[in-house]
Chain A
Amino acid sequence: MNVPNLKASNFKSDITPIWCPGCGDFHVLMSITKALAKLRRPPEDIAVVSGIGCSSRIPAYTNCYGFHGVHGRSLAVAAGLKVARPDLTVMAMSGDGDGFSIGGNHFLHACRRNVDMTYIVMDNRVYGMTKGQPSPTTESDWDSALSPGGTGLRAFHPLVIALASGANFVAREFSGNIKACTQTIVEAVNHPGFSFVEILSPCVTFRPDEKEWKNQVHEASVAETDDPARAARRIMTDDGMNTGILYRGPRKPYSASVSDEVGDVSALEQFFEI
Chain B
Amino acid sequence: MTASLKPANSISFAIVGTGGAGAITAGSMLIEAAGKAGYYGLLTRSVGPQIRGGEAAALVRLSTKPAACMSKEFDILVAIDWKNADRFIGAMPVAEGGLVICGPAAGDPPRAIRETDCTIIECPIGELAKSVPGGRENMISAGLVAELIRMPLEEIRNVVSGKLASKGEKAVEASHGCLEIGAQTAAGFDHTCRLAAPEEGSNKRWLITGNEAVGLGALRGGVRFAAAYPITPATEVLEYLSPALASVGGALVQAEDELASINMIIGASFGGRPSITATSGPGLSLMMESLGLAAASETPIVVVDVMRVGPSTGVATKSEQSDLNIAVYGFHGDAPHVVVAPLSVSDCLFTGQWAVHMAETLQTPVIVLSDQSIGQARVLIDRPADITFMTRRKPFDADGEAYQRYAITADGVSPMSTPGQAGGQYTADGLTHTERGSPSSARSDQKEQLDKRHDKIARFNFGNHWGITEGDSARATVILTWGSLTGAAREAIDALQDEDIPVRLVSLRQISPFPEEPLKAALAGAKRLLVVEQSYSAQFYRHVRSYIDLPFEVRQLNREGPYEIGPDEIVTKIREWNYR
- A residues within 8 Å of B by Cβ? 15, 42-45, 47-49, 57, 59-60, 63-70, 72-73, 75-85, 87-88, 105-106, 108-109, 113, 256-265, 267-269, 272-274
Looking at the assembled complex, report how far the CB atom of B302 sits from the nearest CB atom of chain A, in whole angstroms.
Answer: 14
B265: chain A residues at CB < 8 Å are: 80
**What interface size band does chain B fall in?**
35 or more
Most buried by B among A49, A64, A83, A264: A83
**B427 adjacent to chain A (CB < 8 Å):** yes
A44: chain B residues at CB < 8 Å are: 419-425
Residues A65 and B419 in contact in the complex (CB < 8 Å), given A77-B270, A83-B225, A88-B271: yes
- Please pick, from A49, A108, A261, the residue contacting B249 in the complex, using a CB distance under 8 A: A261
- Please pick, from A48, A60, A264, A268, the residue contacting B439 in the complex, using a CB distance under 8 A: A60
A72 to B273, CA, bound (A): 23
**B457 adjacent to chain A (CB < 8 Å):** no
Residues A65 and B425 in contact in the complex (CB < 8 Å), given A80-B227, A268-B247, A272-B207: yes
Contact B253 A83 (CB under 8 A): yes
Looking at the assembled complex, report how far the CB atom of A177 sits from the nearest CB atom of chain B, in whole angstroms.
Answer: 27
Q: List 29 A-B contacts (CB under 8 A).
A: A15-B438, A44-B422, A44-B425, A65-B427, A67-B267, A70-B292, A70-B293, A73-B263, A80-B225, A80-B227, A80-B263, A80-B266, A80-B267, A80-B268, A81-B268, A82-B267, A83-B253, A85-B273, A85-B420, A106-B259, A108-B256, A256-B251, A258-B249, A260-B249, A261-B249, A269-B383, A273-B204, A273-B383, A274-B380
B253: chain A residues at CB < 8 Å are: 79-80, 83, 113, 256
Most buried by A among B264, B430, B437: B264
A8 to B383, CA, bound (A): 57
**B472 adjacent to chain A (CB < 8 Å):** no
A105 to B286, CA, bound (A): 14
**B244 adjacent to chain A (CB < 8 Å):** yes
A-B contact count (CB 8 A): 196
Contact B438 A43 (CB under 8 A): no
A263: chain B residues at CB < 8 Å are: 224, 247-250
A48 to B270, CA, bound (A): 12
B261: chain A residues at CB < 8 Å are: 76
A262: chain B residues at CB < 8 Å are: 248-249
- Please pick, from B206, B255, B422, B425, the residue contacting A274 in the complex, using a CB distance under 8 A: B206
Contact A66 B255 (CB under 8 A): no
Contact A268 B248 (CB under 8 A): yes
Contact A73 B425 (CB under 8 A): no
A264: chain B residues at CB < 8 Å are: 248
Residues A81 and B271 in contact in the complex (CB < 8 Å), given A60-B437, A63-B425, A258-B225: yes
CB nearest to B427 among chain A residues = A66
B271: chain A residues at CB < 8 Å are: 47, 80-81, 84-85, 88
**B64 adjacent to chain A (CB < 8 Å):** no
CB nearest to A259 among chain B residues = B249
Contact A66 B426 (CB under 8 A): yes
A269: chain B residues at CB < 8 Å are: 206, 216, 383
Contact A274 B249 (CB under 8 A): no
Residues A265 and B220 in contact in the complex (CB < 8 Å), given A77-B270, A84-B268: yes
**B121 adjacent to chain A (CB < 8 Å):** no
B424: chain A residues at CB < 8 Å are: 44, 65
- Please pick, from B32, B267, B423, the residue contacting A49 in the complex, using a CB distance under 8 A: B267
Contact B430 A69 (CB under 8 A): yes
A42: chain B residues at CB < 8 Å are: 422
**B467 adjacent to chain A (CB < 8 Å):** no
A79 to B263, CA, bound (A): 9
Contact B439 A258 (CB under 8 A): no
A75: chain B residues at CB < 8 Å are: 260
CB nearest to B35 among chain A residues = A274
A64 to B417, CA, bound (A): 12
Most buried by B among A45, A64, A273: A273
- Please pick, from B219, B267, B431, the residue contacting A77 in the complex, using a CB distance under 8 A: B267
Residues 378-434 of B contacting A (Cβ, < 8 Å): 380, 383, 419-431
Contact B266 A69 (CB under 8 A): yes
Looking at the assembled complex, report how far the CB atom of B42 sits from the nearest CB atom of chain A, in whole angstroms.
Answer: 14
A260 to B224, CA, bound (A): 10
Contact A105 B247 (CB under 8 A): no
- Please pick, from A47, A72, A77, A87, the residue contacting B264 in the complex, using a CB distance under 8 A: A77
B247: chain A residues at CB < 8 Å are: 263, 267-268
A108: chain B residues at CB < 8 Å are: 256
Contact B430 A68 (CB under 8 A): yes
A-contact 0/1 string along B200-217, CB 8 Å cutoff: 000011111000100010
Looking at the assembled complex, report how far the CB atom of A269 sits from the nearest CB atom of chain B, in whole angstroms.
Answer: 7
- Please pick, from A57, A76, A87, A265, the residue contacting B260 in the complex, using a CB distance under 8 A: A76
Contact A105 B256 (CB under 8 A): yes
Looking at the assembled complex, report how far the CB atom of B166 sits from the nearest CB atom of chain A, in whole angstroms.
Answer: 16
Contact A87 B206 (CB under 8 A): no
A259: chain B residues at CB < 8 Å are: 249-250
**B272 adjacent to chain A (CB < 8 Å):** yes
A82 to B273, CA, bound (A): 11
- Please pick, from A63, A76, A79, the residue contacting B259 in the complex, using a CB distance under 8 A: A76
CB nearest to B417 among chain A residues = A65
A106: chain B residues at CB < 8 Å are: 256, 259-260
Residues A45 and B430 in contact in the complex (CB < 8 Å), given A77-B267, A257-B251: no
Looking at the assembled complex, report how far the CB atom of B216 sits from the nearest CB atom of chain A, in whole angstroms.
Answer: 6
A268: chain B residues at CB < 8 Å are: 216, 219, 244, 247-248
Contact B255 A76 (CB under 8 A): yes
Looking at the assembled complex, report how far the CB atom of A68 sits from the nearest CB atom of chain B, in whole angstroms.
Answer: 5
**B290 adjacent to chain A (CB < 8 Å):** yes
CB nearest to A46 among chain B residues = B419
A15: chain B residues at CB < 8 Å are: 438-439
